[in-house]
Structure 1
Amino acid sequence: MKLFDVYPLYDVTPVSANGIEVIDEKGQKYLDFYGGHAVISIGHSHPHYVARLKDQLEKIGFYSNSIQNPLQNELAQKLGELSGCDDYALFMCNSGAEANENALKMASFHTGKAKVIAFNNSFHGRTSAAVAATDNPAINAPINQQQEVTFLPFNDTEAFEKAIASDDFCAVILESIQGVGGLDEPTTEFFQFVASTCKSHGVVLIADEVQSGFGRSGKFFAFQHHGIQPDIITIAKGMGNGFPVGGVLIHNSFRASYGLLGTTFGGNHLACAATLSVLEVMEDENLIQNAAEVGNYLKERAKELPQVKNVKGRGLMLGLEFDFEVSELRKALIHNQHMFTGGAKNKKLLRILPALNVTKNHIDLLLEGLKKELK
């Protein structure tokens, strides 16, 4: 049997990693400024993370959600405390797509309606309703297209007000900072208008924090930069530092009932241990503050590169925009400078998504590598 060929692969084979360093089978070290799509939040093989998982695995790694699992309650309490979202309830799942799928399902249950408003250049996952709300026809199969989704531009209050006036919608879903789409974000004025309009029309507002959450933007959630309160918040990516974890934060105004949502693997003992270790390291090492400070440092230093036309995003969810497509630059950074970076739907954007404990010295190395390749 061979692998189903859906990923274009760089000729690099990592065999170990530590902090922001990745080592391949030849012993070559790479600096990881991408974290596998913002997944690595506290650094590769963080000792507390490794110890937490090893200790848990020696006790019990998995049992179904039909039994008591005190780790889930511990996690919910810690997450509410650090995020400032105590007035939400946690449902655990396995991925960002699954989180968004459950969020959209909850919105439809809650309102009795089915239509969704999403935004241009959005990415919410590759499953049923999540992919229908993703602005990429190439990955939206005919079976997914039966979902009714209206795509609108960010920051166009007139278009939004006109669309939502039909009262046919169960949900508005948006990324507080777009990831795959290219680091665009709504203005505070527009985000607050969307929130208040959703409330007046009885439409559920879903903040997709799958990539921007867990401290990456310089606040625990990126919507917190805008002073709004979503009805539902979705999380994944950096939540487990590489262990597959997702979650949905559902406001206490929603009613739960047995069987409403369910999952086989979501919230298992190892997933809880992984997520708790991430939260503990974030708190102990002040990583949200570090994300804000190092992100601002990168923004300022990037101005030294005349080829950089714009810097987008917040915290350590940043994009350097050029006036040329960056695919060859990314290859050169990997093969010549031994640095991982990311691309986006915007082909001229280089995405920078390192672990939240990256240092200013690491950023200096990134910029030196960029200078060498941009000559």
Structure 2
Amino acid sequence: MPLFDVYPLYNVTPVSGKDIHVYDENGTEYLDLYGGHAVISIGHSHPNYVKAVTNQVSKLGFYSNAIQNPLQVELANKLETLSGCKDYELFLCNSGAEANENALKLASFKTGKSRVVAFKNGFHGRTSAAVAATDNPNIIAPINAQQKVTILELNDILGVKNELEKGDVCAVIIEFIQGVGGLDQATADFYEQVFALCKTNNTMFIADEVQSGYGRSGKFFAFQHYNVTPDIISIAKGMGNGFPVGGILIHPEIEAKHGMLGTTFGGNHLACAAGLAVLNTIEEEKLIDNVNEISAYFITKAKSIPQIKNIKGKGLMIGLEFDFEVGELRKKLIYDHHIFTGGASNKKLIRILPPLTIKKTHIDQFFDALKKVL
């Protein structure tokens, strides 16, 4: 049976990984500066991660959410401690799209309203309401387009005010650093005014931290660079270091009711073991400190290359923008220099999303290769 052909594929077949590197079937080593869409947070095959998942699967891999699962409680408590999000509650699911879907559903339950405000170049997933809130008509099927979504420009605070004052908006959903859209950010004043408008207009403020969370921005969450308190925070990618896991952090003002949300696989024993290994490693290895140190070093190196016209993002969620499309450049980095990088809807931008364990020597290797390709 052939695979449904929806992915354009590079001719590389990774079969193993260790920390910042992956290896193909011929033993060729690749420097991974993309982390599989920012998923690999603590490095490929980290010993803490391997041990935790192996130990758990040898005992109990799964049972439903109809029973007690102390691992979920342990994960929630650890997440509260490291993130600083005191008094939030955790609902676990399987992916970023699912996290945003549940966030939007919860906002609609809470407010009794159904329209969503999202932003140009935003990406929130490929499921029903999440994809409708995504600024890409090519992936929105007619069944998704039935959702009521208004997409505004970043920094258009007057537009946000006008839409929220109409009284039918249940949620504003926003990435504080856009991922697929190309690492764009709004101003601090914009984020903080949107937050205030949401409070005034009985609208839930959703921080999509699926890609920017778990230390990638230099703080545990990207919204923590600003003076805002989201009603709901969606998380996934780096949360499981490759194991499928997602979730939402829910402000205590939103009351839970039995049956309101649900999932079969979300918060299973293996997912929690993987998630705990990630949090423990971030803490023990001081990876957020490393993010800030390496980010500063990376930006200094990038500024010395005249072909780079703009540096976008924060922490280890960085975009390098050129005045030409970078598709061929990225191919040369992969095939000639064995370095993985990421693309974006902005075809002139390379995305850098490495494991948070990256060192300065790896940054040097990348820039040496980039200079040769340029």
User: Cα deviation per residue 1:160-196 (whole Å; 9 max; x = unaligned)?
Assistant: 2122110110000001110000000121100000000
The AA in structure 1 aligned to 2:218 is: G
Once the two structures are superposed, the pairs formed by residues 231-242 of structure 1 within 5 Å of their partners are: 231-242=231-242
The Cα shift of 1:315 comes to 0.2
2:175 alignment partner in structure 1:
175
Once the two structures are superposed, the pairs formed by residues 147-158 of structure 1 within 5 Å of their partners are: 147-158=147-158
CA-atom RMSD in angstroms = 0.5
Q: Determine the C-alpha separation between the residues in 2 that align with 1:237 and 1:279.
A: 13
1:70 alignment partner in structure 2:
70
SS at match of 2:23: strand
The Cα shift of 1:82 comes to 0.3
Q: Does the 8 A contact of 2:163 with 2:169 survive in 1?
A: no
1:139 alignment partner in structure 2:
139
Q: Does the 8 A contact of 2:32 with 2:340 survive in 1?
A: yes
User: Cα deviation per residue 1:271-297 (whole Å; 9 max; x = unaligned)?
Assistant: 000000000000000001111111111
SS at match of 1:234: strand
User: Cα deviation per residue 1:243-287 (whole Å; 9 max; x = unaligned)?
Assistant: 000000010111101100000000000000000000000000000
2:243 alignment partner in structure 1:
243
The AA in structure 2 aligned to 1:138 is: N
Once the two structures are superposed, the pairs formed by residues 20-99 of structure 1 within 5 Å of their partners are: 20-99=20-99
1:219 alignment partner in structure 2:
219
The AA in structure 1 aligned to 2:111 is: T
User: Cα deviation per residue 1:47-92 (whole Å; 9 max; x = unaligned)?
Assistant: 0100000011111010000000000000000000000012210000
Q: Determine the C-alpha separation between the residues in 1 that align with 2:253 and 2:114.
A: 20
The AA in structure 2 aligned to 1:21 is: H
2:340 alignment partner in structure 1:
340
1:296 equivalent to 2:296? Answer: yes
Residue segments in structure 1 that go unaligned for 5+ positions in a row: none
Q: Determine the C-alpha separation between the residues in 2 that align with 1:227 and 1:321.
A: 28
1:111 alignment partner in structure 2:
111
Q: Determine the C-alpha separation between the residues in 1 that align with 2:12 and 2:100.
A: 32
1:10 alignment partner in structure 2:
10
SS at match of 1:91: strand
How many corresponding residue pairs? 374
**Percent same amino acid among aligned pairs?**
66
> Under a length normalisation based on structure 1, what TM-score does the superposition of the two structures give?
0.99
2:254 alignment partner in structure 1:
254
Q: Does the 8 A contact of 2:206 with 2:233 survive in 1?
A: yes
User: Cα deviation per residue 1:102-156 (whole Å; 9 max; x = unaligned)?
Assistant: 0000000000000000000010000000000000000000000010100011112
Q: Determine the C-alpha separation between the residues in 2 that align with 1:345 and 1:362.
A: 26
The AA in structure 2 aligned to 1:153 is: E
Q: Determine the C-alpha separation between the residues in 2 that align with 1:133 and 1:119.
A: 8
2:326 alignment partner in structure 1:
326
1:188 alignment partner in structure 2:
188
Q: Determine the C-alpha separation between the residues in 2 that align with 1:51 and 1:271.
A: 13
Q: Determine the C-alpha separation between the residues in 2 that align with 1:296 and 1:113.
A: 43
Deviates further, 306-315 or 156-165: 156-165
1:165 alignment partner in structure 2:
165
The AA in structure 1 aligned to 2:96 is: G
SS at match of 1:206: strand
Residue segments in structure 2 that go unaligned for 5+ positions in a row: none
Q: Determine the C-alpha separation between the residues in 2 that align with 1:53 and 1:340.
A: 26
Q: Determine the C-alpha separation between the residues in 2 that align with 1:209 and 1:10.
A: 28
Q: Which runs of 4+ in 1 moved over 2 A?
A: none
The AA in structure 2 aligned to 1:110 is: K
Deviates further, 300-309 or 93-102: 300-309
Q: Does the 8 A contact of 2:295 with 2:314 survive in 1?
A: yes
SS at match of 1:59: coil
User: Cα deviation per residue 1:211-263 (whole Å; 9 max; x = unaligned)?
Assistant: 00000000000000012100000000000000000000010111101100000
1:273 alignment partner in structure 2:
273
1:352 equivalent to 2:352? Answer: yes
Once the two structures are superposed, the pairs formed by residues 303-314 of structure 1 within 5 Å of their partners are: 303-314=303-314
SS at match of 2:89: strand
The Cα shift of 1:357 comes to 0.8
1:367 alignment partner in structure 2:
367
> Under a length normalisation based on structure 2, what TM-score does the superposition of the two structures give?
0.99
